[in-house]
Structure 1
């Protein structure tokens, strides 16, 4: 149903009818949607597997429409194909099965893009500051605070949405720094706060950020939302304007925050800024982790930095944390290579122009 919803949203945005199948193949709704998914995949906005699955789901939806007589077309919607897949069964015999597919299917090909945990791509510190400044002036208070906490604590949307007022009030100063506090999160915390894989630990938060969140907790704006909330949700720090949690269950997706981020990107684009293009909330976590690694490695060394990053982001294992360290170690080398390539290439072009002149 998520795939069908994404398809419905695209139909509305592109002003396309779901039954539009003209003679010209390139103009058909499914062909255009396929192209849209490929662009999103190649831009790194969705994973290759997501593009493959969404196209498959939409095609299956149309199979159901045709089978139940809701859609008829004078032209074939797609070309059916059968692909043979060879495999060896449990007792060692080679078997072949035929799988039905179509010419609209999108192959699940991995992109040659360097990504981190959960396929995330960080933004630069400069763009982070621009995003926060723009959100402060153009978004709701809640959206700004979500982004601020994402960028400066690395907590996921599911964790931030489940923060309790007591969680913040019980924050304890870090013994190593008077301006740094720790808040307990995870199923073992009191009160409990949802975390991915049910890991219990501490998230870092600076004193100014903690004070700002506590100001919001006591604000009239939040109290208006609390008045609309169910009793079991009144203690949540963040509630939608209807008094509902931003996420439900164990999901890491928030339709309310997605809508607000979409509106924020539109406002940014309208002002001629592009720093929000392709930005989604979950990238704030990767940005926090990479900036933390940049600060820690020169001071503490790789081994100590690895342990600190693992604790700060509540990773299950060190392999995930190590990706960030390798990422920041490779980045300067890539930048140096790119700059040297540009210098040499531009000098060659300059010499070529001189010869022509």
Structure 2
């Protein structure tokens, strides 16, 4: 069975949605396919999904459409129940026999009803969780709408037990299992809201107080719904303040100064201009990969103010440059780096890559700053009008491939063996920024004797790194105090042990 790849016509009423899901499919190659062990539930992605309501009433300026199978005509009206008329990279859950899973796909459609509809990556994540559940249902021959009188025999509890078995056998992480169970519960909640009534409860639910720190660092709490299913997957977070990693949207490892120098030497040896500039940009601004590789030419066309040492670039919501959660922020680009990027823009190498690009934007300045040799972006912004041309838009895979296939081997050739990811440059920027501000002013002295200066330091780092939560910024300060202290003590202890071992070696032979 093949799904329509380029465009699909979608309607918003429940009755028409049921018809639409069957209309997604092209003519079947066979009437039905028998269940086979190698056939699995899969997700097909429609690159461009058009949402509208069919009607026999002709709108002003409307055009007639024809349903090939029925041989009848209709007109397209703007859909009233969705925020946008077009949605890119829409996932569809398909059963092994090629037919769509109606209820799950209607649920995914409902996620487009919000004022700000779910992003395609969010929808694909939900679709992946539900496809996993569907595969389990088919293998166990379970009807997900049939609720047993025995609680542990109900689909939700049986699936929960299955996920726990997967965790126990090391096939699944607890955090992933908890996410899948949460997706399943939201699906069942939608089913109940859509009119399906279950005589018995699918889980036990109660209110819990969730404690957190707000953007200003104050302790807050809010009431959230909790179920016995998701509670069974509680993930205990590590509280190791002496770890070599910082939790900042992932486990990041700030690179020591010697590793930074080794990284620069390896990049210079490889000679990839785009990677050299991109890595330096991340080191100098703390920008994430998605921000660095969605920078545009227009961001480097302006002239800095007279006497300025850095140039301000606005990124995030309202710009063409992507940030996490579309957060608006300003990057301070050192003038020496800004000038080098301007030189690169006028280079033959850059012009050659731009001419190879198949994407022609209304303004030449909207073209990405960094392009591959084939003229493709390393990372495509969500608001890019050409995303629908890709089954999977570029998301930095080429950068990861460069690190794995070229950078790490070069580091190893030069005698360095340390783990590294592009995102670690962000943590490295944060620690460099902190240490530069602490020159001659130990952190303990600032925090203990001069609270205003300590708070200003905290706010400065938070602003430069674009942290929403102040607790994230505090982790950098804790890292600077705790990890380096622990490393210093560990080295001292190891030297002590080595001296003891040498004393033993003097008394007896050790093979």
Query: Which bracket does the TM-score occupy, shorter chain normalised?
Result: 0.5 to 0.7
8 Å contact kept, 1:135–1:264: no
Choose between structure 1 and 2 for higher RCO, CA contacts under 8 A separated by at least 6 residues: 1
8 Å contact kept, 1:171–1:183: no
Q: CA deviation at 1:295?
A: 1.3
1:307 maps to: 459
SS in 1 for 2:333: strand
Q: CA deviation at 1:98?
A: 2.9
Q: How does 1:175-186 map to 2 (within 5 A)?
A: 178-186=308-316
Cα distance in structure 2, aligned partners of 1:107 and 1:196: 24
SS in 1 for 2:438: helix
8 Å contact kept, 1:156–1:252: no
2:348 maps to: 220
1:325 to 477, 483, 499: 477
SS in 2 for 1:248: coil
8 Å contact kept, 2:262–2:416: no
1:280 aligns with 2:421: yes
1:236 aligns with 2:364: no
1:257 aligns with 2:409: no
Summarize the Cα distance change of 1:326–1:257 in structure 2 as closer, same or farther, 3 Å threshold.
same
8 Å contact kept, 2:315–2:328: yes
8 Å contact kept, 1:154–1:313: yes
- Deviation track 1:129-186 (CA, whole Å, cap 9, x = no partner) reads 221121122141111111111112111111111112222233645x9x8423322222
8 Å contact kept, 1:302–1:325: no
2:435 maps to: 294
8 Å contact kept, 1:161–1:238: yes
Which ranges of structure 2 fall in alignment gaps of 5 or more residues? Answer: 1-37, 39-124, 140-150, 175-234, 383-392, 447-452
Q: CA deviation at 1:203?
A: 0.9
8 Å contact kept, 1:123–1:283: yes
Q: How does 1:1-357 map to 2 (within 5 A)?
A: 98-99=161-162, 101=165, 103=169, 105-108=171-174, 113-116=243-246, 117=248, 118-170=250-302, 172-173=304-305, 178-188=308-318, 191-229=319-357, 230-232=359-361, 235-250=367-382, 253-265=395-407, 267-268=409-410, 271-275=413-417, 277-298=418-439, 301-356=453-508
Question: By percentage of residues, which structure has more helix?
Answer: 1
Cα distance in structure 2, aligned partners of 1:204 and 1:127: 24
Question: By percentage of residues, which structure has more strand?
Answer: 2
Cα distance in structure 2, aligned partners of 1:165 and 1:255: 22
Q: CA deviation at 1:248?
A: 2.2
Which ranges of structure 1 fall in alignment gaps of 5 or more residues? Answer: 1-18, 20-52, 68-84, 87-93
8 Å contact kept, 1:172–1:183: no
SS in 1 for 2:245: coil
SS in 1 for 2:504: helix
- Deviation track 1:162-214 (CA, whole Å, cap 9, x = no partner) reads 112222233645x9x842332222224xx542111222121121111111111
Q: CA deviation at 1:95?
A: 11
1:38 maps to: none
